[in-house]
Amino acid sequence: MRVRLEDVARATGVSPKTVSRVLNEEPSVKESTRQRVLAAMESMNYRPSPAARGLAGSRSFLIAMLYDNNDNPASTYLAEIQDGVLDACDAHRYSMMVCPLRLRGQDFIRRVDALVAEHHIDGVIMTPPLTDNAALLRRLKELGVPYASISPQHREGSIGVCMDEQHAAKVLVEHLIELGHRCIAHIVGIASHGASRWRLQGYKDALAAAGLPFDPHYVVQGEFTFGSGVMAARQLFALPQEPTAIFAANDDMAAGVMWAANERGLKVPRDLSVCGFDDTPLATQLWPPLSTVRQPSRDMGKLATLQLMEVLRGRGTGLLVQVPYSLQWRESTSTPPQKS
C-alpha cells in the first residue's frame, strides 16, 4: 500500500529512527548514510504522513494565515498575499490553513485557541489590522505560537515584512508638488491600519518639506473602500477651494475619487490629478490609468512566511524584512488646471 518510513528504513538497511533523522534534517547522520536514505526515499516515492508527524512530534508542519474578514483591504490584496504564503510553504514542505477572523465580534480569540488546540499550528502569518491587535498578539505569545506579520505598525521586535510606506507617500506627494499642485488633498484609510498613519504622515512630510501649509480640511476620512472614496471626494469638491490633486490612501478609494470626478463632470487629469497606493490590478483598469505606488504583495507574503520558517526551523529569530516600493506614474496625474 503506502510507503512508510519503516519501508525506507528496511530498504536502506538502517533503523527507522535514522530515516526520521534524515527526514528532519538533523545533523547527526553520516553523509553517506544520508545520501542512501535520500536515494531510497526518492526511488520509493516516499511521502511522509503529516498526520503521523503531527501526532508523534511537536511540530505539525502547518501554518495558518490569519486575516480580518471585516475590515480587510481589497480582496485582491489578500489573494496576492496568500499566493505568496503558498509559494513559501511549497518551498519548505509546509501546509497552510486559511483562517478568516472577525475582529469585531469578540470571539476571535477563541477561534485562534481552537485553531492552535486542534491543529497544533506551528506558526501564524497575519495581515493588517490583525498585526496590531494587542489581544491577539498577547494570546499568540501565551500559546507560544510564533508569528510573522505583514506591515505591522510596531516594528521593533516584529518579524515579517514591511515597506517604507511613509517615504513612498512622501515621494508621491512631492511629485505632485513638482507638477505645480499647491492644493493637494488626502483621503485617509481605516485608522486601525498602520498604512493609514504612514501614508498620511508621508503626505504631511511632503507638504512640510515644500513649505506648504497643512490644512486639515483637505484631509478626509475614508475606509479603504471604493464607496468611501466617492463620499470623501464629494466632500472635498464641496470645499470653497477645490483641491487640484487628491492622493487617496489606496487604489480602491482613488477609483472612487475618479468616479466622483466623473459624476461631477471633472476630467482627470485635466481638471483633477488623482493618485492611489498599492498598484492593484484596478489601477491599470481605470480610465485614465492610475498613478500609484507599487507594493509587491505576493513577494511580501512570501518573505514574511520565509521569516516565520526561519524561526520554526530554529535557524534564527527572524527579521523584519523591508521591501522596496516603486512609483508608477500613469495618466491620472498631470499639471494643475490654470487658475480661471
Q: Which stretch binds DNA (CB under 7 A): 27-35, 199-207, 211-219, 326-334?
A: 27-35
Name the minimum Å distance from CB 64 to a second copy. Answer: 10
- Is residue 263 near DNA by the rule CB under 7 A? no
- Is residue 146 near DNA by the rule CB under 7 A? no
CA dist 210 and 194 (Å) reads 24
| Count of helices and strands (H, E) across the chain | 12, 12
Which amino acid is located at 38 in the chain?
L
Site of grid cell 473602500:
225
CA dist 271 and 336 (Å) reads 7
- Is residue 80 near a second copy by the rule CB under 8 A? yes
Q: Three-state DSSP class for 188?
A: strand
Q: What burial letters (b/e) apply to 6-15, b meaning 16+ CB within 10 Å?
A: ebbbebbebe
- Is residue 114 near DNA by the rule CB under 7 A? no
Name the minimum Å distance from CB 10 to DNA. Answer: 11
- Is residue 117 near DNA by the rule CB under 7 A? no
Of positions 10, 38, 44, 53, contacts DNA by CB under 7 A: 53
- Is residue 30 near DNA by the rule CB under 7 A? yes
Can you say whether the dihedral through the CA atoms of 257, 67, 138, 317 is positive or negative?
A: negative
Query: Which of DNA, a second copy, none has residue 83 at its interface (CB below 5 to 8 Å by kind)?
Result: a second copy
CA dist 196 and 213 (Å) reads 20
**Is the distance from CB of 248 to CB of 196 less than 8 angstroms?**
no
Name the minimum Å distance from CB 34 to a second copy. Answer: 22
Task: Label the pairing between strands 123-126 and 147-150.
Answer: parallel
Of positions 114, 135, 191, 209, contacts a second copy by CB under 8 A: 114
Residue 80 has a CB neighbour count (10 Å cut-off) of 21
- Is residue 93 near DNA by the rule CB under 7 A? no
Residues engaged in binding DNA (CB under 7 A): 1-2, 4-6, 13-21, 23-24, 28-30, 33-34, 46-49, 52-53, 55-59
Residues engaged in binding a second copy (CB under 8 A): 2, 47-52, 54-55, 60, 69, 74-76, 78-80, 82-83, 86, 95-98, 100, 114, 117-120, 226, 252, 255-256, 258-259, 262-263, 281-282, 284-288
